[in-house]
Structure 1
Amino acid sequence: MLIGSYDFALVFLSLCVAILASYTALDLAGRITGARGAARVLWIGGGAVAMGLGIWSMHFVGMLAFRLPIDLGYDLAITLLSLAIAMLASGFALWLVSQPELPAWHLCLGAVAMGAGIGAMHYIGMAAMRMQPGIVYDPLLFALSLLIAVAASGAALLIAFRLRRHTRHVRLLRGGAAVIMGFAIVGMHYTGMAAANFPEGSFCGAAFSGLDSGWLASLVIVTTLAVLAIALLTSILDARLEARTELLSSSLAKANAELTQLALHDGLTKLPNRLLLEDRINQNILKLQRNGGYFALLFMDLDGFKPVNDAFGHHVGDQLLVAVAQRLRAHLRANDSLARIGGDEFVLLAELRHPDDASNVASHVVGLLSQPFEIDGHELRVSTSVGIALYPGDGVDQQELLINADAAMYHAKSLGKNGYSFFESSMNTNARQQLQLLHDLRVALERGELRLHYQPKFASGSGRMLGAEALLRWQHPQQGLLAPVRFIGLAEKTGLIIPIGDWVLDEACRQMRLWYEQGHQDWRVAVNLSALQFCHGELVETVRQTLARHALPANCLTLEITESTAMHDVSASQVILEQLAEMGVDIAIDDFGTGYSSLLYLKRLPANELKIDRGFVRDLEHDGDDMAIVSAIVALGQALDLRIVAEGVETPEQQAFLTELGCDSLQGYLLGHPLPPEHIPS
């Protein structure tokens, strides 16, 4: 056998390269873990090149350190193949340790795969010498070298996974781990070299046509060190940039928190300001809508604060406000919120078990602030007037609640101060707004501001349009287009509903006449009658004159009255409805199922149509009770030979169910929105 020897300078150099490659790999693992998207792919790719070149270079320098008493060389293609295998194994290792978890079976499979890659790199690299005859390997040492490669790979993967995060002393720990990993890699390599036996008379087939080992050592070492240095330097610089970015992000977050604090809190008392208070009110409203319960807004204004401020100066006044805030805050319950919304005004949001508890809270607040304050050597006394608005009941949103609590506070002041008052509807400015709206409504007819929109009705089976329902709108000169809910209540309270109702009937018939002349003799226009209209003695004559004025057949008009209106005085209702029916006008019972119908009386009324209330249609797909109610109404209507109209149809599923059930006609946003008459298809 040929006897080999080693250049120990190169052996030591191979160990240094192995340690440097190991440290670079550990550092790159940390970079990859924090990277995302394309940056992650680039780090894995670049890391695979640097780490693979480092491991391969250690192997190659180790081979160059080996001397035989013959000329040696290395086949270029096979050498590059061993380098490619080292890079692939490195890329796989970096990808594996960058995963969120590293289960034991992943670690074992990864160790075997990476160990096999390193072993293949080594022995393919040995094959690059193209020895003739071939190298004879000692089976035990050969197996031992592969076992060392697998064990070293497993340890390297585990260490890299554990040290990938940037924690305290991580670089020192990586340095120690790199030394251990370097010795393990070198141990595997030189065990593999020890397993190689070269028979007497062997010669190197690549000695003359392959790479010359004389200058190759210097080239490999310089290139490898350069690549590893660049990779390591890039990783370190990126880590510093990331650290600075994190520091900047932390500073920005801190600054943002401070700005948020300033934006949402009062600068003097540090209490929440109006903006934060409004948000908390909204949150409580949502909470109570889900879970039920009550809360109160206590609007507090300090009595006697201005004289203190004028007598002792703003400095003492500010200290007094801070003392008031501290005293109130010290007695807050866990779920209460105290805010300063300006000047000497504070608002307490207090959750309640029962609405009556609000008076206890208000009494406590009044008592707290009636006690003297020691400010800058002065004993100062103030009191407070408290206005209370309750939810639910005194407002639907934070703005209305605050306005009403403020109105109640001024009422408390008017009663002598140093006390509290609950909100009553007569206290706020809404009364003035309603008065103005009523004034505008009185002249709306004269100014021609009322409008009718029409919502089409369609046959359930064929989809043919059967007519439309007239819906009142008010084109207010300042507030825009108003729905009836904004003004019908006022009209009914003041009796204005009678002339307005007459106008609606006249305008609807005028429009129906136009449609009639356009060939829609089978259409009907539906007009809603209010309870006051229905009871008005001249209703029947008004209907008769209106139909005559527009030369309109009576069967083109449908008058809709609510179930409750019809049942209020059944005998009187029956007389009126019979007169209208004799005229030929169709009668529809609107919102059927929501009132207190008596089937005994219902069958006596000369109605032609039942309208199923939208409340039953809305949850039809999800509520079994609604399905049962609608089915019962349809069956009842069919038994009484009445047409069935379902309103509020908004989904295809509702349409399909109601059609299958036997409704004659349908109405709702799915089929058509209320529109001005010029937009109704004719």
Structure 2
Amino acid sequence: MVIALSSLLILLASVQFQALRSSAIDDLGATAELLARNLSAALIFDSLDDAQAVLDALMQSSTISTAELYALDGRLIASRTVQSPEWGHGLVLLQVSRDVYASGAVVGYLTLQASSSRIAIWTGVFLAVGAVAVAAAWLASCVSARRASMAALMAQQSLSWMSRHDPLTGCANREELRAQLQACLQRPQASPALFLIDIDDFGLINAAYGTQQGDAVLRVIAQRLQVLAGSSDCLARISADEFALLMNEGQEERLHGIAMRIQALASEPILIGNAIVRVSACIGMALLPGDGTTVASALGAASAGLAAARVTGHGRIARYKQAQERLLRERARLTDALRQALKRSELSLYYQPIHDIRTGHLRYAEALVRWNSPEHGPIPPDTFVPLAETAGFAEDMGLHILGRLHRDRSDWLEAGVVPPPVAVNLSAMQFVREGAKAAFLDRLETLGLTPDAMQVELTERAAFEEVDAADSILNSLREQGYELALDDFGTGYSSLSYLHRIRCSKIKIDRSFVRDMDRNEGARKLVKAIVDVAHAFGIRTVAEGVETERELDVLRSLGCDFAQGYLLGRPMAAAAFLQLISAEQARQSADSQT
């Protein structure tokens, strides 16, 4: 029995040592990553003093024994070493190395070392305690039996903990949240607050980077949200991309402020490999017991608030109100109507012309989807397009748009005119399902929508996959000759590196910049900078929302290539666009004869 217990003790000590060592290396790696972000300037400008100052500050406030900063060519830029105590000599050092980035490129690397003496001490303590336990077991079988009973109790407690917590994030699970919520509601004069937090478009992260990296994002978000949870509060993960925060003491005037802090924490950049991911979250709030007196009603109230937040878009906050029930019922009816509209081909396309600023000629058009429901009347695109994405109809709607464009082009060709290319917008949600990319490309081929007939526009949010990936839909379209345009440039997270990687042929300058050019010199300079940068990359520019001759003149003087807006033509039905094409071709023919 003693031999068996001793072997078990050694095994447990080994497991503990490895666990402590892994935790220490993770902590050391996190410190290295944080420090590396602050050393890029020192490497770029070869500033020894700045680098040494950062390392000195680090060594004064941590247990790190050695820190060394190297340039990319292997030169040692700065280093700092703290002598370990005599009893720490000879122990295995913990070491991590992290690249230092500047503007997305590696400019050097940082190496940190720390002694494993503390791990050895704790492992030694564990072995010492275990030895006492083995000795006690050897001396008296009753003590051995007692300790076996205690071990069984600890195992039971561990299983109990696992049954109440999420194994991925360490947060409470749904059952534990319900238990905590029940306890809160039973306390007299308690006023708990419940927040349901849903990560927007989390499926896109899994699709773009894989589920393993998606899990890493969830762990980071859980760690950030834990900052807001007090010792008596409960943070739970209740579904794949949904968290719940139960605060024992909630106040009416603080609800929105706490929700804003949750959003701020969730939206901070997250580093995944070499990519930076930014997420947003919709939040539903409930203040109890006013919004719910039972577990079911409390969760229902917060869920209703969350559903109302999702209706209005990404990154929104809402609290349960009775009026929202009517809104949610209306949304459900509208969702069903949209499903039927796709089956009955009720959606149509309107076409807005895009003109060459220099010549004034019509060059191509943008297809804008419209829905005139027999039951609900005209539905604005900013209502039904997000609805299609959240309800899972984006792929079907994208294929429907291709079919409608094909029918309209066929009508124009039969009328004896050659239509210009038409730009179609892609949604990030069209390609979530496996096989959706192939289905989209097959439909293009079946309908004969060749690159001279169709172009593609995508918003900056449509960076839904690695554009460098071999199976990227963007690469597939580009390889087949389709022109790509980046819409709403400058309003999201644009960067020159992204512009270079996506290799688009056009960028569309957001209407907010165009509108402000007359009264805001900064907006005018920004438009000029966008045009110059685009031309430097060999990319043409399209100004959106042009409504006055003055705006058109300014854009012409800045060298912008194309313009789109009410001044040049409102979105119009296919029949009206046919008349415009005919008139435009007649005018160009007359111009060519003079």
Normalised-by-shorter TM-score class: 0.3 to 0.5
Under a length normalisation based on structure 2, what TM-score does the superposition of the two structures give?
0.43
Name the structure with the higher helix share: 1
Q: Which has the larger radius of gyration?
A: 1
